[in-house]
Structure 1
């Protein structure tokens, strides 16, 4: 299966474990072919494979896991614990048997890492051309993003930054979360000077790597660097906030430049209104979309949007048949799926320019300075009211408002659980669910523990 790179199998074949029977005994991470089987001209295909693998098996069931786990999303949708059960995430009690949620998340990340490792190894430390520099920068950023995703939900994971085919080397203990995040920062710092400026959200740019590093820096309390990087992204002028509209940001061919980096799937088949996260988040009939109506957003959050806020364009109130109450549904992922089937691609945001504005404001507040400029610029673009620094009694009060603004802006984009940990809201929330600090992280799946006997399960599972 993995012997013919000339047939584009490089695009998706490094799944290794799931797709190729003779490698089923290998743990993740896994690389199943040798370096000598590919050449420089295959690298763009291999990079395409890294991008495509990031979403996992479509539809990407793992994309909303952390949002359901958090206080943003409420889901009564059930399922087999081994085949993705949103109710388990709603209860902050995910199952180690969940190979469809955690398992696909894990597998997608390591497949992308495997492809990236090949590219990085092939190119080496001194790219000979601008094209190779760009390819190397993209591969480093894909790898960094994948490890950051893993660290966000699992803490420490097996850290591999080179091509390994020996099971004895692949089966190793996990590195600490600190070591993984150190590697993420190193990759991004190396990538930034190699990358060209933004031209398409479908590929990594300098602005994508800078914003991702700003995110990591904020998470690790490196506030001056987080602010500097966020300001670099804004100041580059390659991406800008959309005025007067919000829903169009999430179109595949959006007229805006808000989306810095995204995953995309498509074109969808004729029954396009049944696919992707639209069907997961959308209300039930008579609303088009054939959703179950069992997943909606927190009402306190829904009520926090001002009447003229353009972000209300992706919210819909409708009676929930299961509860008999009116709830608020999120249609952020429906914008594409309501187009003609021939034009439909569903997208999943990874980085948007609005996050740079929020990071800049938060990084300043974390240094005891209330700077409302970036906060107000974002609010103005969303047609919401603005505030003066004096409207906040302290930096702590401004931070509280910024947390709420992040919820309104980044709803359903996978950021909330990490935000709750950073703002000190995660542990009280877990307590309200009858859980403790062991649920700050997800478990490794039973399958991965069997594949790698040296992989230690996270505490409490």
Structure 2
């Protein structure tokens, strides 16, 4: 355990401790060492701490916040404005006082970044080919953390070193472009160091490549995005499931779709109410035992064809709060089928299906209606294949891709970024009585007090 309170540093945002394993909050003398005592043999434990810190505290906030904010998910669940309050995201009006939602997501990202910085700094000062894989994983973890932050806030504070000087920790935020440049640099450096996929619980070459393809797509580098997505598909170590869609989201699933996910468990205490299925699931008698106050957009749920296997994760059930049936999302409820004594909650970061959608979109944005990867995904989902007459222009194809991304990735934290990229976000905000200042989330009041050089985002 790397928690020596006299020697281990505070990280940017002053929210992250360098966590290792399940004993994060219980450091003891035989589990704590100083930063200067780290050896190459400690790197696996540090990496484990970095992975453990990714989800943050219950639930991983980027999933419900970003999707409720979008047109995919509807929530009437209330809460204390200073805590996680889904109604505020439904109204596209997140509050700077929300330390439980925005604050914990911010903290989780920087904690993972802090762990990664510790590993990266050590390996750079002790270079060895045997540490290349660990270096690649740490760079990918750091890139993912900054991607979470930049998607939510735009420009944020960048810290790429282990810093102990409080005057250097407190500094102005970098621009959005500078953050994306740092992400691209990390992923570009990580890819040649990483091994091919072996487990979805760790970053691999394909994970870094697909994450970089996602970034390139968002930044308008369409050829680069498409080339990387096709490379991930061509690696052949992850494939689309031809059978039960819901099984993809189970821990240790035999399906081959997950490239990288966050995992928490075993959840030995009240696990039926742990994780995202307690937010997304309907109430009793469904075993997910959620509040029943959060559900899918009706038009989206109705858009699945009758034969589409993705319909397996949609459950129509009466909602007594509004007096009608609604469509609940069961992606995260499949793990309630596990034995209570060995239950895990998983949260997808990357699935191979997104590579197919990136490849299709990259082609469309370069003026081509190439249905190869688009139809490959739909065929795997037992949905009808499309022809060029369905999409007579690249613009029409882009609309089809946007809809397909909704059908495929609902509840996986991607929709708000998609709405910004497809230029549907601003109109949606205006329908809620909001303006362009709500394209990004605020920094919390607490974080602004911690860092007096951090400037609040416009409009908050």
TM-score, normalised to structure 1, is 0.93
Q: 1:66 to 1:15 in 2, by over 3 A?
A: same
Secondary structure at 2:337 match in 1: coil
Given that 2:157 and 2:173 are in contact with CA atoms closer than 8 Å, whether structure 1 keeps it comes out as: yes
**Moved runs in structure 1, 4+ residues, more than 6 A?**
13-16
Secondary structure at 2:304 match in 1: coil
Measure how far apart 1:19 and its partner are. 6.7
Identify which range, 185-194 or 41-50, moves more after superposition. Answer: 41-50
Measure how far apart 1:287 and its partner are. 1.6
Given that 2:369 and 2:397 are in contact with CA atoms closer than 8 Å, whether structure 1 keeps it comes out as: yes
| Match of residue 179 from structure 1 | 178
Given that 1:68 and 1:74 are in contact with CA atoms closer than 8 Å, whether structure 2 keeps it comes out as: yes
| Match of residue 105 from structure 1 | 105
| Match of residue 443 from structure 2 | 444
| Match of residue 289 from structure 2 | 290
| Match of residue 47 from structure 1 | 47
Secondary structure at 2:259 match in 1: strand
Given that 1:280 and 1:291 are in contact with CA atoms closer than 8 Å, whether structure 2 keeps it comes out as: yes
For 2:14 and 2:50, locate their aligned partners in 1 and report how far apart those are by CA, in whole Å. Answer: 13
Q: 1:60 and 2:60 equivalent?
A: yes
For 2:282 and 2:218, locate their aligned partners in 1 and report how far apart those are by CA, in whole Å. Answer: 34
**Deviations 1:18-51, CA, capped at 9 Å, x for gaps:** 779xxxxxxxxxxx99641322111111111111
Count residues in correspondence. 445
Q: 1:254 to 1:283 in 2, by over 3 A?
A: same
For 1:398 and 1:439, locate their aligned partners in 2 and report how far apart those are by CA, in whole Å. Answer: 28
Given that 2:12 and 2:159 are in contact with CA atoms closer than 8 Å, whether structure 1 keeps it comes out as: no
| Match of residue 122 from structure 2 | 122
TM-score, normalised to structure 2, is 0.93
**Deviations 1:338-392, CA, capped at 9 Å, x for gaps:** 2211231010000000000000000000001000010000000000000122321
Q: 1:394 to 1:125 in 2, by over 3 A?
A: farther
Q: 1:373 and 2:375 equivalent?
A: no
Measure how far apart 1:61 and its partner are. 3.8
Identify which range, 35-44 or 206-215, moves more after superposition. Answer: 35-44
Secondary structure at 1:101 match in 2: helix
**Deviations 1:374-417, CA, capped at 9 Å, x for gaps:** 00000000000001223212000000000000000001000000
Q: Indicate the RMSD between aligned Cα atoms, in angstroms.
A: 2.1
Q: 1:455 to 1:270 in 2, by over 3 A?
A: closer
Given that 1:246 and 1:382 are in contact with CA atoms closer than 8 Å, whether structure 2 keeps it comes out as: yes
| Match of residue 149 from structure 1 | 148
For 1:428 and 1:363, locate their aligned partners in 2 and report how far apart those are by CA, in whole Å. Answer: 24
Given that 1:14 and 1:111 are in contact with CA atoms closer than 8 Å, whether structure 2 keeps it comes out as: no
